[in-house]
Structure 1
Amino acid sequence: MNALAEEGARLLGGSLSSSRSFAGGSLSHLVSIELTDGRSAIVKGGPTPRAEARMLEAIRGSGAPAPEVFAADDTVFVMEIVEGDGSLSRAWASIGAAVRTLHAATGESYGWDCDFAFGAVEIPNGWSNDWPRFWAENRLLNNGPHIPGNLASRIEKLAKGLADRLPAAPGASLLHGDLWSGNVMASGDRITGLIDPACYYGHGEVDLAMLHLFGSPGAAFYAAYGELDPGYEDRRAIYTLWPALVHLRLFGSGYRGLVERLLDQLGV
């Protein structure tokens, strides 16, 4: 029995019967546990488990599906097991409706009440009332010291003109923040949960751009999500640039081409 499983059982006030490694992301450690009283759960470690637990609770509070959080401390949090069949192909309409529900929950400003991180890549979330400035400072320019100089210069050029490319004050929607297909659980034609969030309040199109990073939501998603503002396709490259930069920093030069293609598309 590993320490992660033992801590999860302790938080639930039970005795551990069994545990097994659970398929998770490249930046997290998860185990599924079963207690002697028959309860089962997922235990997830990480540097900020309380923060991630609060994000899942915020998603559930919006009415969108997410695992229920049972307990959390400074080491792990314990959550409901959400089943999925590994395919989203029949669930895009359900996913679109769920993301629409998530984005209908709004805040008064852009950002979150604490910073977050993907591994060693920081996610600064200081509050702002200026969306282009928030995106420039907290999602683009902060990567400058960690990427090749010529890319950093192009990012700086783009950031200077964001006020002409992004809306000044879009609705401050509750964002999942890392909404790629691997963080969407579905069974058949129904979404069962949004997992592994990096929540903050911002322009809803950010989540939609992330969904396109490694796949395509398709027409059923957009029919359920609802009409988008004019210029969405142009803004998508700006919003995709952030996860591309994160992948470049985390996983290396294999993602440099993606960053360069997006900058080329944006004409900087």
Structure 2
Amino acid sequence: MSDLADRAARLLGSEVAETRHFAGGSLSSIVFMRLSDGREMLVKSGPSPETEARMLGAIRDAGVSAPKVYAADDSVLAIERLPDDGGLSAAWGDLGSELRRLHETTGEFYGWEDDYAFARLPIRNAFSDDWPAFFAEHRLLAAARGTGAAVERRVAALAARLGDILPQRPKPSLVHGDLWSGNVLTFSGRVSGLIDPACYFGDGEVDVAMLGLFARPSGEFYEAYGPLPGHRERRPVYALWPALVHLALFGSGYRSMVEGYLAEAGF
């Protein structure tokens, strides 16, 4: 813990006055740090802190709330500590507006300039102009490898049919990429920041689908976000990827979630 803080303090040209463990971060270590010059921040490890810093910058450049980045190198990321009262239930409408704003930032192709990872699970982001092929190869099939023959076979069957299920050329929106409810900070009924991104350009519906993984977005969210024609049919396909990630990283407790989404998608 102290090594993490010490490295960040050196990047910022100061010394550590106080450090303590900070709750959160299932795939990385996080500490609260106060420097001798009075600055306070969170310092975290990760698979690629500099890539995460660029992602946070992209979210902020889109006009969406996210932590400021104070320093980053290949080992640590020092970011602003944002207020959080855990009140997402009162902030669904604001989240819908923020997410719509994020998705209005677009790219030319699907993908991202950097590859990324969730712990030991690589996330390939090679640019493509074929959305179903990108999502099949770099998301579903990649995450399914090693989860067991039965799941791999069903995912492969779904991937082979994605061209019939997903739009060929949806708007390449800037997506958060790991938008479960725990990565949304709120305060006093507003979104104070989106954290822990895994950004790329893709169909914005992937973020909407993932929000439903461990929470139930309210009607206010959907009203603020805007129309989503056909989302009900695509939702289990888009939610399957984070479910596969959880199965690959955290074990068999998530197998029923994966199988449920596969069945809902007709596979």
| TM-score in terms of structure 1 length | 0.97
Q: C-alpha separation between the residues in 1 aligned to 2:61 and 2:263? A: 40
- 1:52 maps onto 2:52 in alignment: yes
Q: C-alpha separation between the residues in 2 aligned to 1:198 and 1:251? A: 18
Q: What corresponds to 2:177 in structure 1? A: 177
Aligned residue pairs, count: 267
Q: What corresponds to 1:262 in structure 2? A: 261
Q: C-alpha separation between the residues in 2 aligned to 1:163 and 1:10? A: 50
Contact 1:19 1:32 in 2 (8 A): yes
Deviations 1:109-152 (A, max 9, x none): 00011111111111111110000011111111123431111111
Contact 2:31 2:42 in 1 (8 A): yes
Q: What corresponds to 1:239 in structure 2? A: 238
**Any stretches of 5+ residues in structure 2 without a counterpart?**
none
Task: Please give the residue correspondences for 1:1-268 in structure 2 after superposition, counting only pairs within 5 Å.
Answer: 2-228=2-228, 230-268=229-267
RMSD (CA atoms)? 1.0
Contact 1:43 1:76 in 2 (8 A): yes
Contact 2:144 2:244 in 1 (8 A): no
Q: C-alpha separation between the residues in 1 aligned to 2:144 and 2:84? A: 38
Letter in 2 for 1:173: S
- 1:46 counterpart SS class: coil
Letter in 1 for 2:171: G
Q: C-alpha separation between the residues in 2 aligned to 1:54 and 1:179? A: 17
Contact 1:143 1:152 in 2 (8 A): no
- 2:41 counterpart SS class: strand
Q: C-alpha separation between the residues in 2 aligned to 1:249 and 1:220? A: 33
Q: C-alpha separation between the residues in 1 aligned to 2:8 and 2:206? A: 33
Q: C-alpha separation between the residues in 2 aligned to 1:124 and 1:3? A: 30
Which segments of structure 1 move beyond 6 Å, counting only runs of 4 or more? Answer: none
Per the TM alignment, residue 207 of structure 1 is displaced from its structure 2 partner at its CA by 0.1
**1:8–1:130 Cα change, 3 Å:** same
Deviations 1:152-190 (A, max 9, x none): 111111111111100000000000000001000000211
Q: C-alpha separation between the residues in 2 aligned to 1:168 and 1:67? A: 33
* Amino-acid identity (%): 54
- 2:88 counterpart SS class: coil
